[in-house]
Chain A
Amino acid sequence: MALPLGLAVPTAAAALLWWTGRFVAATAIAGAVSLVVGFLLGIILLRTVLSSGYGVIGVARTVVEEAVGTRVPLILLMLVMMGLPALPLVLDPTERLEYRMQFFLNWGLSGAGFLLAMVTLVLACGSVCGDIDSQRIQMTLVKPIERWQYLFGKWLGIVLLDLVLVGLAGIGIYAFTQALRRSPEIDRADRRAIEQEVLAARSSTRPEHPQREDFTKALAAAAAQMEKDDPSSFAADPAGARRRIRSQQLLEWHTVRPDVVSSYLFTGLDRAGAESQLIQLRLKPFAINVGIDRADVRFAMWLNERPFPMRDGRHEEFTFASGSFHTIALPSSAIADDGTLLVTIANRNLVPPGETEATGISFSPGKGLEVLARVGGFEANLFRALVLAWAKLAMLAAVALAAAAWLGFPVAVLTGLMVYVAAMAQGFLADAIDAYTGLDAADASFVAMVRLRSTMLRERLDALQLWEAAKTVASFIADGFLALVPSFGSHDGVTQVATGRLISWAETGWGLLVLAVAYPLVFLVVGWFLLERRDLVNVSGP
């Protein structure tokens, strides 16, 4: 009785708000009600799916009942369900709609991901620690069920519940995105950006050197030269040295000196040319050799050796602010039949006042110069992002269960949280560890990093720099921990969706394999190993 009444009141409120013209608030309340109804239907579905008489299934179903029957996970779930509809309400209507949609997608997916991660952690740790602390586990493990089956059942229940929750979050995000899409745009460019850059799945192609063999030979020659000039440094980390040389050469190639032209070859654009009329060149130019912040850069461009753009028979030049991303729409007809596009850029910078020569233009290798082409729709891309988000929760559930198999509830939750933070910010943490110990090992492999740190530790101990040596030991431990944790950044779906970039099926499949199969398998085996060796009853005597 309480539930229908609890749903009827907000539904009536939404209808009233709609009738009085407060559409956004009405949509938000209706959305929240829909998510709650969806959650209840999802639970019914899970109960049906988990109705067979296998022990593992029985454990899984009890986890679902636990999520429904206990309060903490439910409160977090309610936060997800209330937070999503509330997000559009905080957006500034004077802001460009493109940015509002990107903000919503970014924060909606990230926020839901974070809250569901907390739900997963609390539920997984609470379920196993609660069973052990209250001795309920005795009642289960005296039945014909192996301890690994017990842990697997817990994991299965949690990931199935996560599947429902991620699905609901996805439906909510999609529905509110569509509602936002119908909001008035600022101008035509705003509308075009929404349709072509946000609500799209664009593939990214990065350039190849037009003279690939020459470039490879130049890399080999530079490596040989370094080996000759500084053999000890090269021998310490040959792979790292080669990576550094390659980075330098790439930066050099991505730098257009005054009165010089540089060419960048984009290949494999056949599908892009066939599927969309327009493709985009996205670039982030920097003015180098100049002390002025955000100085403009000026350049001329050719596409497959034809000047672009031509207006009234004249080859026009581009002028962009330095240090910002810019997008140039290119006609897909410029792509050659073999799917290649050669972009040639000539530096047209003027000589700044007080200088003797014009500034150079540099693009960061990687995302600083790329061709984007629409190859799919927003819906499928969002689906793949949700699959990746679910895979992360599956990994986190296994981590939390492994921790709870050995530790008490608070410590197990903290351990899970630590792994979650490490996985989310792995790149940043690796850089921070390097900065802490004063070692530049960002590009080094794990083995090379160990070798470099060992050398550093020996040198510091020889010099009796004990504090510095202790920091090196701490960095060893931290690096070892990071090596065990996958990088969620490598399987990022949020930024990709918010910026309209394609998450390919291959990336999705790989993410699933790594995050939802391989890592959970490892962590569940660890959890089973710990649980198997644990006495599940404490002494009651003195």
Chain B
Amino acid sequence: MIASEQAGALVDIACAGVTKTFRDFWMRPRVRAVEDVTFEVRRGEIYGLLGPNGSGKSTTIKMLLGLLRPSAGRIAILGKRPRDVATKRLIGYLPEESYLYRFLSGRETLDYYGRLFGLDRRARRDRIDMLLDMVGLEAVQHRPVGEYSKGMQRRIGLAQSLINDPQLLILDEPTSGMDPVGARQIKDLIATLARRGKTVLLCSHLLSDVEDLCDRVAIMYGGKIRSAGTCDELLEQRHATVFEAGEMPDAVVAEVRQLLDRHHIPLTKVEHPRRSLESLFLEVVERARSEGVRTFGAAGGGPVAGFLAEDPTSRVDGHPAEQTVAEAVDAGLIDSLTRR
């Protein structure tokens, strides 16, 4: 049995009572950015971490990634401590901004991160080709990243986070700075990866993105989790009921109103639904593309990169992903987390 398995589900991220206090040069406490945060993310789940600026989301993520040391509490990532190097082979991370070497081209940037994962030359070349096609940067792959627009930098940032075919993907504001087309592609990609068994921790200000994608969410404020649960649990409003029907003449509406009156149920709103601006925008862009209108910069993204679209039990660096996680589990660490 895998120690990080709870109630029949694998737990890829487990945080228990995590607190982070930043200190000044003289080691005096300066800011308590995160306080007693406890949550877990299961295998194949899309988990949303929400909160306004300064609520502690990014600090929490950086502790999960081993970039910051928690002042208190425990963290297990894929059953291991966050600083464990072997576990990092299975993690993809997109920070809130794309911190890239400005002098490297898009291709060189992906090549650099591919090397850090120990990928051989052929694997790097194949994966980079697929990722550049996927994020629509094939045409500008030899331009220095410093010359990219913010959206293009986000795209190359997303590509680098996927180069190792990660089991766990941590995305901090993935759609920030992206146009609606790119944002839609990223949302589709996240959904696809989750269907393939990948685990996604999504941190975003765009609540509609989170609502569309996430299985469960946690809302942070002041360094603490204030509310957590599935989207249905948190968002369902049982005091109202919505019907959707075909176009209805005024006479039929009047009949429905009378029926509801008989049951003492007030009809508060009758209106025709509007399509979303996003769907209109995507339709306009798609029409322009089909007419062959040229654009500069990032092209429309291609299909999901082949090496990502494999079965979730696909091999990671020569080992089945499932097995790698199982082997990497630190039983003592997980036990200590589950006892809390």
Q: Which residues does A use to contact B, with CB under 8 Å? A: 51-55, 57-59, 61-62, 65-66, 68-70, 134-136, 138-146, 535-542
Verify A58–B115 contact, CB threshold 8 A. Answer: yes
Question: Are B65 and A539 touching (Cβ within 8 A)?
Answer: no
Residues from chain B with Cβ under 8 Å of A52 in the complex: 115, 121
By a CB distance below 8 angstroms, the chain B residues around A142 are: 65-67, 88, 91, 93
List the 9 closest A-B pairs by CB distance, nearest first. A69-B103, A58-B115, A143-B116, A539-B22, A541-B54, A144-B88, A136-B99, A135-B99, A55-B116
Known: A53-B118, A142-B91. A537 touches B103 (CB 8 A): no
A139 to B33, CA, bound (A): 21
Cβ-closest chain B residue relative to A51 = B121
Interface residues of B toward A: which range?
35 or more
Cβ of B112 and Cβ of A62 under 8 Å apart? yes
CB distance from A2 to the nearest CB of B (A): 16
Output the least CB separation between B107 and chain A (Å).
12
State whether A136 touches B101 (Cβ < 8 A).
yes
Assess whether B54 is in contact with A145, with CB atoms less than 8 Å apart: no
* A135-B53 Cα distance, complex, nearest whole Å: 18
Contacts of A65 in B (CB 8 A): 101, 103-104, 108
With an 8 A cutoff between CB atoms, is B62 at the interface?
yes
Inter-chain CA distance A145–B114, complex, in Å, is 12
| Nearest CB of chain B from residue A52's CB, rounded to whole Å | 8
16 A-B pairs (CB sep. < 8 Å) = A51-B121, A53-B120, A53-B121, A53-B124, A54-B115, A65-B101, A69-B101, A70-B103, A135-B97, A138-B95, A141-B66, A142-B88, A143-B116, A144-B88, A539-B30, A539-B31
Which residues of chain B in 3-27 are interfacial with respect to chain A, using CB atoms and an 8 Å cutoff?
A: 22
- Separation of A139 and B170 alpha carbons in the complex (Å): 12
A52, A136, A146, A539: residue with the most chain B Cβ atoms closer than 10 Å = A539
Q: A135-B95, A541-B54 are in contact. Are A62 and B101 (CB under 8 A)?
A: yes
Report the bound CA distance from A334 to B115 in whole Å. 65
Nearest chain-A residue to B124 (Cβ)?
Answer: A53
Q: Mark B322-336, 1 if CB is under 8 A from A, else 0.
A: 000000000000000
Chain A neighbourhood of B124, CB < 8 A: 53
Q: Is B69 an interface residue (CB 8 A)?
A: yes
Q: Which of B59, B69, B160, B164 contacts A539 (CB 8 A)?
A: B59
Pairwise interchain contact B67-A138, C-beta atoms closer than 8 A = yes
**Least Cβ–Cβ distance between A256 and chain B, in angstroms:** 64
- Could you tell me the dominant secondary structure of chain A's interface residues? loop
B89: interface (CB < 8 Å) = yes
Q: Which residues of A are found within 8 Å of B33, using beta-carbon distances?
A: 539, 541
Query: Nearest Cβ in chain A — how far from B165, in angstroms?
Result: 13
Bound state CA distance, A62 and B115, in angstroms? 11
Smallest CB-CB separation from B144: which chain A residue?
A: A69
A51 surroundings in chain B (CB, below 8 A): 121
Distance of A538 Cα from B30 Cα, bound (Å)? 11
The reply to whether the CB of B148 lies closer than 8 angstroms to some CB of chain A is no
Q: Is the CB of B103 within 8 A of A536?
A: no
Partner of B68, one of A59, A135, A145, A535: A535
B103 contacts across to A, CB distance below 8 A: 65-66, 68-70
With contact pairs A66-B103, A539-B22, A540-B54 given, residues A141 and B113 touching in the complex (Cβ less than 8 Å)? no
Least distance between A407 CB and chain B CB atoms (Å): 12
Q: Chain A's nearest CB lies how many Å from the CB of B215?
A: 24
Q: Is the pair B22, A139 in contact by a Cβ cutoff of 8 Å?
A: no
Across the interface, name the chain A residue whose C-beta is closest to B94.
A139
Q: Which residues of A contact B221 (CB under 8 A)?
A: none
Not counting A55-B116, A69-B102, A134-B99, a sample of 9 additional A-B residue pairs whose C-beta atoms are within 8 angstroms of each other reads A54-B115, A55-B115, A69-B103, A135-B95, A135-B99, A138-B93, A138-B95, A144-B88, A146-B85
In the complex the two chains form, what is the Cα distance from A139 to B67 in whole Å? 10
Question: Using Cβ atoms and an 8 Å threshold, which residues of chain B touch A59?
Answer: 116
| B117 within 8 Å of A (CB atoms) | yes
A142 to B113, CA, bound (A): 10
**Contact residue among B22, B86, B99 (Cβ-Cβ distance under 8 Å from A144):** B86
A541 to B97, CA, bound (A): 17
CA distance A160 to B259 in the complex (A): 85
Bound: A57/B58 CA distance, A:
30
Complex contact A62–B104 (CB within 8 A): yes
* The residue from A58, A61, A138, A542 contacting B99, defined by CB atoms under 8 A apart: A138
Shortest distance in angstroms between B316's beta carbon and chain A's nearest beta carbon? 11
Interface check B100, CB cutoff 8 A: yes
Q: CA A240 – CA B124 in complex, angstroms?
A: 63
Chain B residues, Cβ within 8 Å of A541:
31, 33, 54
A139 pairs with B99, CB closer than 8 A: yes
Min CB distance A65 to B, Å, is 6
Residue of A nearest to B91 (CB): A142
Contact B31 A542 (CB under 8 A): yes
Q: How far is the CA of A536 from the CA of B67 in the complex (A)?
A: 6
